[in-house]
Structure 1
């Protein structure tokens, strides 16, 4: 079961599997009040990747619910402040400054692959980006974004993550290819609406990126 929550910064979700409840991503700092209003209890927090807008409230929410934070082991150094993400371009430099505002003291991440969930490692956007497959649905973090063809107008479109925000573009494309092989019909992205998706669309995105 997947439920979308109303947090600031990114789409955050509550998933229930085999009697356990996990919060997936926590948005920007300051979402504890929203978490208390929408969640009674959780067994853990899963971070799809360590960017500011996805993990900014992880520590305070974990402290409140007395639970652990889980992420892919390749993401732990970034979450715990032992390594920095490299961003490119003007927007990337702005995001880099925002990253410094994220509270990292007391941030202790545990290996997400220790959980009894279908976790898919999808490096590229960051070293430890993951997707979580529930049935034929996937919480895909920032592997893909969903928006409008034009600003605030036009048809809904599925877009790749911006190269300026990706840690490694080649690995990102490899992860898109891996995703295209999965039996997934619906994606729940970190930004934008949940949508049905098919392999041909992903293959078209891959072709555009490889030109």
Structure 2
């Protein structure tokens, strides 16, 4: 990536993807900073794992020197909301999510337990230990606007991409065809600890062990493939660009059952 700057701040790795987009990796999951560093609003997309609150604050201070306008959640799985309550309280900012995700963010409904029977590697094998309990954001939580806009992120739209979770969303900027996919698709084989440790790049479906609705996940993936994005940041793995990205997405859409869906599992027909 021509304008990629790799920074190291404690326990996070930060990649400058575009002039106003940073991918901030917390161990095995990405958060995204969206907004110009010099002026205007910026937003944090997802908050990663729980222990990274201080590292994210330090990184935000280094880049922006001011709090975000809001926190946007692609979905509410534990590895995307690990410090959302702490960061929302620290910055005194609202948290936005799709209304279909609200039960899991207001303490009303737990996610299905992780499914180790999908196979694929160590991280899938230990899936039952991953937290699946609902969190409660209480009055911090706001619904994403019905008109598709993203509060605090001018030029961006949110797109409903359910399947991995009922209220999963992705964010897209038409101006430069930039996509923040969440876990609608990812760029690493998340089931494999070795692949994650090495950050081995490949277009991959949503994490198998946490995806309960494969039919809907395929529809969402193909919707994103139709956008033909130039740049994509996903919930897991490295950012991807250009023809490699587009070819991989179209191939995944065309061969979703063979590539993305596990041969066996609790949620496989």
TM-score range, shorter chain: 0.7 to 0.9
Whose strand proportion is higher, 1 or 2?
Answer: 1
Q: Does 1:203 align with 2:231?
A: no
The alpha carbon displacement at 1:154 in A equals 10
Query: In the alignment, is residue 4 of structure 1 matched against residue 23 of structure 2?
Result: yes
Q: C-alpha displacement at 1:210, in angstroms?
A: 3.2
TM superposition score normalised by structure 2:
0.69
In 2, are the aligned partners of 1:80 and 1:105 still within 8 Å (CA)? yes
Q: Give the greater-gyration-radius structure (CA).
A: 2
- 1:180 paired to 2:225: yes
* Offset from partner CA, 1:113-171 (integer Å, 9 cap, x none): 363531111001101111111331111111122137x9457973111113331131100
1:198 deviation in Å? 4.4
Output the CA distance in 1 between the equivalents of 2:236 and 2:209: 16
Other-structure match for 1:60? 86
What does 1:39-54 align with in structure 2 at a 5 Å threshold?
Answer: 39=60, 40-54=66-80
Larger displacement relative to structure 2 (1-10 or 132-141): 1-10
The runs of 4+ residues in structure 1 deviating greater than 6 Å are none
Provide the aligned length of Structure 1 versus Structure 2: 210
2: CA distance, partners of 1:5 / 1:193: 10
CA contact (8 A) 1:6 1:34 kept: no
- Return the alpha-carbon distance in structure 2 between the equivalents of residues 120 and 193 of structure 1: 21
Which aligned pairs between 1:26-37 and structure 2 lie closer than 5 A?
Answer: 26-37=47-58
When residues 107 and 185 of structure 1 are mapped into structure 2, their CA distance, relative to the original with a 3 A threshold, is same
State the alpha-carbon separation in 1 of the partners of residues 199 and 42 from structure 2: 36
CA RMSD of aligned residues (A): 2.8
Q: Which residue of 1 aligns with 2:267?
A: none
**Cα distance in structure 2, aligned partners of 1:100 and 1:198:** 31
* Preserved CA contact (<8 Å) 2:31 2:48: yes
Distance of aligned partners of 1:180 and 1:83 in 2 relative to their CA distance in 1, 3 Å threshold:
same
Q: Does the Cα contact within 8 Å between 2:112 and 2:132 map onto a contact in 1?
A: no
Q: Is the 8 A contact 2:111 2:134 kept in 1?
A: no
TM-score w.r.t. length of structure 1: 0.86
Gap regions ≥5 residues in structure 1:
none
How far did residue 199 of structure 1 move? 3.9
Question: CA deviation digits over 1:59-99, x for unaligned, max 9?
Answer: 10000000000111111111122111114532679545432
User: Any idea what SS the aligned residue of 1:177 has?
Assistant: helix
